[in-house]
Amino acid sequence: MDNILNDEKPRVILGEYKVTQNLPSEPTVLDEKWDLKTFKKRFRVVIVRSEENELEFDLIGIHPFLANTFRRLMLSDVPTMAIEKVHILNNTSIIQDEVLAHRLGLIPLKADPRLFEMKTDPTAEGTEQDTLEFALKIKCTNNKDSSKDSLRAEDMYKNNNVYSKHIKWVPIGKQKERFSDVGPIHPDILIAKMRPGHELDLKLLAVKSNGRDHAKFSPVATAFYRLLPDIKLLREVEGEAAERLQKCFSPGVISIRHEKGRKYAVVANARYDTGSRNVFRYEDLKDAVAMTKIQDHFIFTVESVGALPPDVIFMEAVKILKDKCLALLDELSHV
């Protein structure tokens, strides 16, 4: 078994109780000193799946520290806009001012943060460049033209639910010309529930900041990676055991080949295995499989919240890393 796993790739081996590493037959990214030339030669990016707010791509031939840096930067250093200050002019609903403000802050906003500046002085008045202003003015009333029989709140009252679509953008200065579409990304986020007589009159100020400040500024719902799984069958598994083996993995990982009336398991596509290691439930299958993960092959998943497309978020993260490195070099040169 060891010989199969100790190939040229750096691997982690998923044992029954712990994770171990293999002994690669030749030097890998993990033990090399980082060098631009070799990195360029080896590094590959493969975009696997690209949807509106979700991107799956592979970074191959990269050291974990770098991959992790990108992940960390995406989570907490790429800035976005979010509501930071709420001026409560009137709030007669049952929701407390602070809780309302907190909920409003967590609403993702459609506004390209690259077009804004970070606000330097938090107490200063917001300007066109660093602040977006919104207004939320809504009042719940009795719905006079509803049928008398209905006892559903939606029929009896008007505006009994306050949604993010009720937030209206108030452009400052020339913002109206500069931006076309600004506002909450999702129209149907429930902000508050009201009953007749309740009223909200709020002025909302959104600023630019990053996820380290508060999670609401994070551009991603989550950004993470996993190592590419590699599953090898060490011996042939046939018949009922093959089907059992198939069930131990995610769908599509193991397929069953029929040959001369004989069924046996083969590895089809290990990529989408969830690493559940359920083979270890079966005493007889334990030794049939070697589950490993390739240590320099990262499958990134970036789930954007919607303010920025996921690919842009990644590019921003790279840019931030570049800026940080330049800043460091700059500082070192002054020492």
Partner 1 sequence: MDFDDPALLKKPIKEIEEKWKLVPAFLKVKGLVKQHIDSFNYFINVDIKKIVEANNKLVCDADPLFYVKYTNVYVGRPDVDEGFNISKPTTPHECRLRDMTYSAPISVDIEYTRGTQRVSKAGLMIGRMPIMLRSSNCVLTNKSEYELAKMNECPLDPGGYFVVKGQEKVILIQEQLSKNRMIVEESKFGVQCAVTSSTHEKKSRTNVVCKANKYYLGHNSLTDLVPVSIIFKALDVTSDKEICELIGVEDISKLTPTLEECHTLKIYTQLGALKHIGSKLVAKRYVTSASKMKTPVDEARDVLATTVLAHVPVENYNFRMKAIYLGVMVKRVIEAQSDKKFMDDKDYYGNKRLELAGSLLSLMFEDVFKRFNWELKSIAEKTIPKIRATQFDVVKYMRSDLITNCLVYAISTGNWTIKRFRMERLGVTQVLSRLSYISALGMMTRVNSQFEKTRKVSGPRSLQPSQWGMLCPSDTPEGEACGLVKNLALMTHITTDVDEYPLIRLANNAGVVDINMSSGMSIHSPETFFVFLNGNILGTIRNYKKLIHTFRMLRRSGLISGYVSIYPNFLHRCIYISSDGGRLCRPYIIVERGRPLVTQNHIIELEKGIRSFEDFLHDGLIEFLDVNEENDSFIACYEKDITDLTTHLEIATFTLLGVCAGLVPYPHHNQSPRNTYQCAMGKQAMGTIGYNQKNRMDTLLYSLVYPQAPMVKTKSIELTNFDKLPAGQNATIAVMSYSGYDIEDALIINKASIDRGFGRCLVYKNSKCVMKRYANQTFDRIQGPLIDTTTNAPMWKHAVLDMDGIVAPGESVDNKQVLVNKSVPTVSAVPGSQTTSVEYKDTPICYRNNEPSYIEKVLVSTNEEDTTIIKILLRQTRRPEIGDKFSSRHGQKGVVGLVVEQEDMPFNEYGICPDIIMNPHGYPSRMTVGKLIELLAGKAGLVEGKFHYGTAFGGSKVNDVCEELAKHGFNYQGKDFFYSGITGEPLEAYIYSGPVYYQKLKHMVQDKIHARGRGPRAVLTRQPTEGRSRDGGLRLGEMERDCLIGYGASMMLIERLMVSSDQCEVDVCNLCGRLGYCGWCNSCKSSREVSSITMPYACKLLLTELQAMNITARLTLNHYCE
Tell me which residues touch partner 1 (CB under 8 A).
12, 14, 17-20, 64-65, 67-69, 71-72, 75-76, 88, 91, 94, 96-99, 102, 106, 211-212, 214-216, 218, 222-227, 247-248, 250, 274-278, 281, 293, 295, 301, 303
CB of 74 to partner 1, least distance (A): 9
Q: 19 or 23: whose CB is closer to partner 1?
A: 19
DSSP per-residue codes, 250-264:
-TTTEEEEEETTEEE
CB of 81 to partner 1, least distance (A): 16
Give the C-alpha separation, 162 to 80, whole Å. Answer: 24
CB of 200 to partner 1, least distance (A): 13
DSSP per-residue codes, 149-205:
T---HHHHEES-EEEGGG-EEE--TTHHHH-S--EES-TT-EEEE--TT-EEEEEEE
Residue among 82, 69, 72, 73 at smallest CA distance from 209: 82
CB of 128 to partner 1, least distance (A): 28
- CB of 188 within 8 A of CB of 164? yes
Give the C-alpha separation, 184 to 306, whole Å. Answer: 10
CB of 174 to partner 1, least distance (A): 33
CB of 260 to partner 1, least distance (A): 31
Q: 104 or 182: whose CB is closer to partner 1?
A: 104
CB of 334 to partner 1, least distance (A): 29
- CB of 28 within 8 A of CB of 45? no
Give the C-alpha separation, 102 to 138, whole Å. Answer: 18
Q: 91 or 175: whose CB is closer to partner 1?
A: 91
Residue 18 contacts by C-beta under 8 Å, 6 or more apart in sequence?
none
CB of 146 to partner 1, least distance (A): 18
Residue 102 contacts by C-beta under 8 Å, 6 or more apart in sequence?
none
The three-state secondary structure class of 211 is: coil
Residue among 79, 108, 59, 55 at smallest CA distance from 320: 79
Q: 38 or 96: whose CB is closer to partner 1?
A: 96
Q: Would the CA dihedral through 210, 215, 218, 222 be positive or negative? A: positive
Give the C-alpha separation, 116 to 175, whole Å. Answer: 11
Give the C-alpha separation, 246 to 179, whole Å. Answer: 53
Q: 175 or 292: whose CB is closer to partner 1?
A: 292
Is residue 240 within a helix (H) or strand (E), and if so which, with residue range?
A: helix 239-247
Give the C-alpha separation, 112 to 123, whole Å. Answer: 23
Q: 81 or 182: whose CB is closer to partner 1?
A: 81
Q: 68 or 127: whose CB is closer to partner 1?
A: 68
CB of 40 to partner 1, least distance (A): 21
Q: 50 or 274: whose CB is closer to partner 1?
A: 274
Q: 88 or 256: whose CB is closer to partner 1?
A: 88
